[in-house]
């Protein structure tokens, strides 16, 4: 055998080994953590439940601010609130030769934090009654994938007897990236164009801290369980000055669901609970300061009171804000928010606008919780939960990113990813959870099927509205969005409008690029309908 032939065969052998290694690596990424984790639990089982007695409630909170000392400080030389390599400077604290910033999520990439206005948090509320212990957790984050939530569940002390934990992200756009989407991307020249190439500046240590702090909050909330009375109210929040639907058709869920938990027979508040739908993005895409946005001021207002003029007294205790129906898209970016002083108006992105929105919401909520015509006591707060693992059909950029193991690790046959849906029951209150940003049309009604939609549908697919099933046997019912996962926008199939001819004004609308695909909404609607029907029939 000639020397050159030996070299060629050796080279081909190395290529073959590399190909096998790369193929094995890509194949392994399709599995990810908790690949075999499955839930299909409706509890308590019929005929096995203890008789409901006194409801017990416990709450706890942990701050999840990043430690700025663990990241590089930087100087924004050109003042655009983005990191521009070669222009901006930084202090390389760990001497690794690259900028390790706190990459903020929710708008564009390369936006490093420069400071902290208020500490984001993870908050847990635990319930116990009739032999069931369940916990609801709300985290100030743009979104968290299912695997991380499962990791938290499996870390909880088994001796506490927790049956189920439901998680939700507030979807705040002014906190560190928890989805590997908004961290540092390197811009390179490509001929006459420029391309953004992901360099993976994502910090897993921040996500690990959220996991640890959430576990602590859950365990503390359960350890603090105490007898509680539960008072409920629902109030309409008119969209003017609060929220705008930035995509046609305009459908806004104006309901705000409220709870107040007190020590039995007293006015001493353990916790307040708010569910309402709006993107926490009042600071916009240029803000470099970490904040929980309007939920921070809403929670502070209900806990400590809203200052004069036109303020309200707080309730004490802890306030928990759970995100609602935000698809569509619900935002305050285009809204002029009035100040309580009756003079100032805030249209541009600012902390003043975030404060005004949060405090205005707190005034609405506090007023409703003190209105005897709205408030009712949940007299028989029996607990039940239905948790089901769902294989969601993914397409587009989500599917490719999952296939490569870049986000939402774990890929399943047929282009699917594992996610989860829940139905929770607390007496006369029913809560449906969805793993993304659901369009209110699917829940409240108002889906359209107009000429020009991508599938030429003449009738909506996701009918009847889910509220039909939610209120069948409940006095109050609401949706918690971005729950147990984040798979993007849940858009009615007949409103999918990504290709010309376009339905509205001969132009496309924002939305489809951040959806996992047109099959997601029909799936969510069908699974929700099945779960709600079974919960209603069982309890």
In this prediction, what percent of the chain has a pLDDT beyond 90? 85
- Domains of the chain by residue range: 382-538
pTM recorded for the entire structure: 0.95
Predicted local distance difference test score (pLDDT) of residue 400: 83
| Category of 142 on φ-ψ map: left (φ > 0), alpha (ψ -120 to 50) or beta | alpha
**Cα separation, 129 vs 475, whole angstroms:** 19
Q: Tell me: the pLDDT tens digits for 387-441?
A: 999 999 999 888 888 877 789 989 898 889 999 999 999 999 999 999 999 999 9
Mean pLDDT value across residues 454-478: 98
Burial call 477-503: b when 16+ CB within 10 Å, e when fewer: bbbbbbbbbbbbbbbbbbbbbbeeeeb
Angle at 362 between CA 361 and CA 366, to 5 degrees: 120
**Cα separation, 252 vs 277, whole angstroms:** 9
Predicted local distance difference test score (pLDDT) of residue 160: 98
Q: Tell me: the pLDDT tens digits for 48-75?
A: 768 899 999 999 999 999 999 999 999 9
Predicted local distance difference test score (pLDDT) of residue 406: 83
Query: Is residue 507's pLDDT more than 90?
Result: yes
Q: Which residue in the block uniquely carries the two structure tokens 């990791």? A: 151
Q: Tell me: the pLDDT tens digits for 332-384?
A: 999 999 999 999 999 999 999 999 999 999 999 999 999 999 999 999 999 99
Mean pLDDT value across residues 264-269: 97
Q: What is the band of 322 on the pLDDT scale with cuts at 50, 70, 90?
A: very high
Strand order in the sheet with 476-480: 40-43, 383-393, 416-426, 429-433, 476-480
Query: Is residue 297's pLDDT more than 70?
Result: yes
**Cα separation, 477 vs 470, whole angstroms:** 6
Query: Is residue 193's pLDDT more than 80?
Result: no
In this prediction, what percent of the chain has a pLDDT beyond 70? 96
Q: Tell me: the pLDDT tens digits for 7-59?
A: 676 677 777 777 776 666 666 656 779 999 999 999 998 877 688 999 999 99
Q: Sign (positive/negative) of CA torsion 350, 354, 355, 356?
A: positive
Predicted local distance difference test score (pLDDT) of residue 189: 75
Query: Is residue 6's pLDDT more than 70?
Result: no
Under DSSP, the state recorded for 93 is T
Mean pLDDT value across residues 221-246: 98
């Amino acid at each position: 055998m000639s020397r050159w032939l030996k070299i060629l065969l050796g080279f081909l052998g190395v290529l073959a080994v590399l190909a096998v290694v790369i193929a094995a690596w890509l194949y392994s990424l399709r599995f990810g953590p908790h690949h075999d984790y499955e839930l299909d639990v409706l509890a308590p089982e019929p005929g096995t439940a203890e008789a409901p007695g006194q409801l017990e409630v416990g709450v706890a909170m942990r701050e999840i601010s990043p430690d700025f000392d663990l990241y590089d400080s930087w100087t924004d030389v050109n003042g655009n609130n983005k990191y521009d390599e070669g222009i901006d400077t930084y202090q390389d604290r760990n001497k690794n030769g690259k900028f390790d910033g706190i990459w903020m999520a929710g708008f564009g990439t390369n936006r490093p934090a420069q400071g902290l206005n208020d500490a984001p948090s993870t908050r847990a509320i635990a319930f116990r009654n009739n032999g069931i212990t369940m916990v609801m957790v709300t985290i100030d984050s743009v979104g968290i994938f299912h695997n991380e939530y499962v990791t938290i569940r499996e870390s909880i002390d088994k001796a506490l007897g927790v049956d189920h934990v439901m998680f939700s992200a507030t979807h705040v756009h002014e906190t560190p990236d928890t989805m590997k989407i908004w961290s540092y991307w390197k811009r390179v020249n490509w001929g006459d164009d420029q391309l953004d190439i992901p360099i993976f500046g994502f910090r897993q240590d921040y996500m690990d801290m959220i996991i640890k702090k959430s576990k602590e909050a859950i365990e503390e909330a359960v350890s603090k369980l105490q007898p509680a009375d539960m008072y409920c109210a629902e109030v309409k929040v008119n969209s003017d000055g609060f929220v705008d639907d930035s995509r046609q058709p305009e459908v806004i869920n104006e309901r705000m669901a409220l709870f107040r938990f007190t020590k039995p027979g007293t006015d001493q508040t353990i916790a307040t609970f708010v569910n309402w739908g709006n993107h926490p993005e009042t600071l916009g895409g240029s803000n470099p300061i970490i904040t929980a946005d309007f939920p921070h001021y809403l929670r502070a207002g209900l806990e400590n009171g809203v200052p004069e003029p036109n303020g309200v007294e707080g309730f004490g205790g802890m306030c928990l804000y759970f995100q609602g129906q935000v698809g569509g898209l619900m935002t305050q970016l285009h809204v002029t928010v009035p100040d309580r002083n009756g003079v100032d108006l805030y249209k541009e992105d600012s902390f003043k606008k975030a404060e005004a929105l949060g405090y205005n919401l707190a005034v609405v909520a506090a007023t409703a919780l003190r209105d005897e015509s709205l408030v009712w006591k949940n007299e028989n707060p029996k607990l039940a939960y239905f948790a089901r693992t769902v294989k969601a059909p993914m397409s587009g950029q989500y599917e490719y990113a999952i296939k490569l193991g870049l986000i939402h690790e774990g890929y399943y046959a047929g282009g699917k990813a594992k996610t989860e849906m829940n139905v929770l029951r607390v007496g006369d209150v029913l809560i449906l959870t969805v793993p993304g940003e659901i369009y209110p049309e699917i829940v409240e009604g108002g889906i359209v099927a107009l000429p020009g939609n991508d599938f030429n549908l003449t009738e909506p697919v996701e009918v009847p509205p889910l509220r039909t099933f939610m209120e069948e046997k409940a006095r109050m019912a609401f949706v918690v969005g971005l729950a147990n996962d984040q798979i993007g926008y849940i858009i009615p199939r007949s409103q999918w409008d990504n290709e010309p001819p376009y339905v509205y004004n001969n132009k496309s609308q924002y939305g489809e690029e951040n959806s996992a695909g047109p099959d997601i909404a029909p799936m969510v609607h069908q699974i929700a309908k099945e779960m709600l029907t079974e919960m209603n029939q069982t309890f």
